[in-house]
Structure 1
Amino acid sequence: MSPDTVRSDPFKSLLQLTASDLDTDERLRKAIDVGREYLGVDNGVLSYTGEGRYEVVETSIESGPYARGGVVDLDGTWCRHVVRAGETLGFADATDGEYRDDPALETTGLRCYVGAAVTVDGETYGTLCFFDAEPRDDPITDTERDFVAVLAEWVGSELERQKHYAELREQNERLDEFAGIVAHDLRNPLSGAIGFTELAQEHVTGQAAEFLDRVRGALGRMESMIAECLMLAKEGTDVGERTRVDLDEVVREAWDTVRTRNATLSVEVAPDAAILADEMRLRRLFENLFRNCVEHGGPDVAVTVTGDDEGFAVADDGPGLPEDVERALTAADAENIKSFGLGLLVVQRVVSGHGWDLAVDSGPDGTRFAVRDVNAAEPVHEALAAD
């Protein structure tokens, strides 16, 4: 962005900056440059003003108290007016107006100043200001004040985004830690309990054997729930790199891994139909749909899978889903989906992680899960590789 372009259309320059792929620190530095060039002043500073201090977060100044990381007394700055009033302040020459006797004139030596408050999550974070030691020939206009206010609002949005991403990373780290605890600290004693239960079953008969069967069944369900929780920890994230997955093959592989009892599978997919997906997650989606069909449709349920390059559907002839679960799946309402089991929540997470569309149609004659638009958008990594 050339200085002439910025001065003629600063909002266009800001729009170009918004569309750039720079990181947050680079965006902030560029935003300060946009403001300086538009106003025709030498210096720009983004400050944090909490706890009564003035800390320089980003700046165009390379040395001195207003360099990056510098801290000065807020009460000795022009920015104190902005922080206290919450309004944009601007003047071309402090000695020619109401601020001629302001103590900031002596402590800073700055005669030209424009500043606006920066807010993050509804609270004052600090200020974005532009200044010069020498006065400006032209007065600061209302349009220039308004632009600085808009620029400060944009900076606040960038800081919010950075803050929220940091919080999300922290949450993901805690989730990974929890998943590790589940995988190790819960699975190990559970495996021991299952092993000793199976040993005990070999030495008892009658009612004791029946009780142990129930214990073994409960332990198995706990094992499945732990596995499903670990799946959710991964399936809830966005899918990155994808490969073309043979639909017929992944369906049959998933069916073979599920305890289907007397259920039957019919696969009616187009020849050579392929889905652009994370193969492991796609297989888990089918596994959980098949498990749901068998568990809630009965041991003799008939399952049919249809599909082509645009999407696929899994249908059964069971009694259908409760209406609230059908609505929850369509609306991606996680709390209500969980009430019917974690398996369907895994399905919803895999669909949303891929950016696909899910439709559920259920009634007394069966349930049909339809996933569409599976290849509607080319993954970013493939588009970049093609360029």
Structure 2
Amino acid sequence: MELSTFSPEHPLLLITDYPADTGGGGAVILRSLLSQQEREKVIWLSLSGATQSDPALWKGHHRLTQGSSGMISSARRSIFLDSTWFAGNLAAEILDIAKERQARGLWVVMHGAVVHVAAHLIRAGQLPIHLTVHDDPTSYIMRSKKNFVLTPLVERDLAFALKKADSIDVICQGMAQRYKSRYGVDSTIVHRGTNQEIEPETTYDKNRFGLAIGVLGNTYSYEQLPILCQAIIEASRQLGVPGKLVIVGQSFGDRLQKHFSGQLDIDVANHLDETTAIERLRQCFMLYLNYPFSWRTRVLRQTSFPTKLSTYLMTARPIIMHVPDDSSVMPLANYSGYINLWNNCDPMTGAKILIKCWSESKSEDNFHIPAENIRQKYYDLNRNQENLFKLLNALT
């Protein structure tokens, strides 16, 4: 399926809070779903002051200039100002670009200040609008130490935009159910798309790598990581093997190194491209997937779905899933043996899981089989493209 109702002469405008080359999950999802042919029909407009480090990722990318990053300083962008003072100006700039480029529709990703820009665009009523939601904006802003005061405004503009948009896609069933009950809107689930089948894993070398647990990207908060470290320390002690935590990307590596200095080997790699990250994570015995346990993060864990899971699957390494029982990822627990559920904050429970998996692992495990089943269930490229493109094509 393709974006048949758009063309380079009459494009679709994609509006995001972040630039096209950012490493975050939202950008990864968007890039995965649009081939080079489709990208020629889409102009990516971002509020962020960051510039592209690799323009080849998305040639049709432009940074908006009427927000804080253009009017004040790209190095000191203010989400607060873009959400309030500059939101109307940014919407007007988008509509000017739409008129100049003869755009046929707007595709708006509801994250950060874009939530408020979207409300202005909908009130203008000049073009049909499709909304994408990867992280619930209200629960996201509530966790911000700097901008949590925007929470009532975010909830107001999110509700307005969802109710007035022409169509909506969301990241998981939990989010779809919440938006149906809370706002009375229907939505379609769209995940990242991959068409590469999971390859059989190579034999894990226990003697070389020991009990190495890998973590990719954001873990939402620091609190669970010391618990994981304590579990690794205890498991490695009982097994009599070296323990290690391998962190790839943005997390709390420096803080953990100070906290567990002399107790646990913590290997921290800065941001790696996905291919390199996969090779690094293949050298881990298990990979760590988590959602926080606090009441404040309840909506987050019920309405989000981790893009990093798609990367984990490509490694064909087993996963320890550290989440409360009300999390969106709980259906993954059905893949027992490959997905290992840790549903409390007791380090000893985590240690028992690691010990059990280590003791039961064989020289030839077939983790690629359940990994491929999960890839097909959630991340199949053709199905996710079809779900999204039906909505986008219907705009016109």
TM range (shorter): under 0.3
Q: TM-score, normalised by structure 2?
A: 0.27
Q: Which has the bigger relative contact order, CA under 8 A and spacing at least 6?
A: 2
Question: Which structure has more strand as a fraction of its residues?
Answer: 1
Give the number of the structure whose alpha-carbon radius of gyration is greater.
Answer: 1
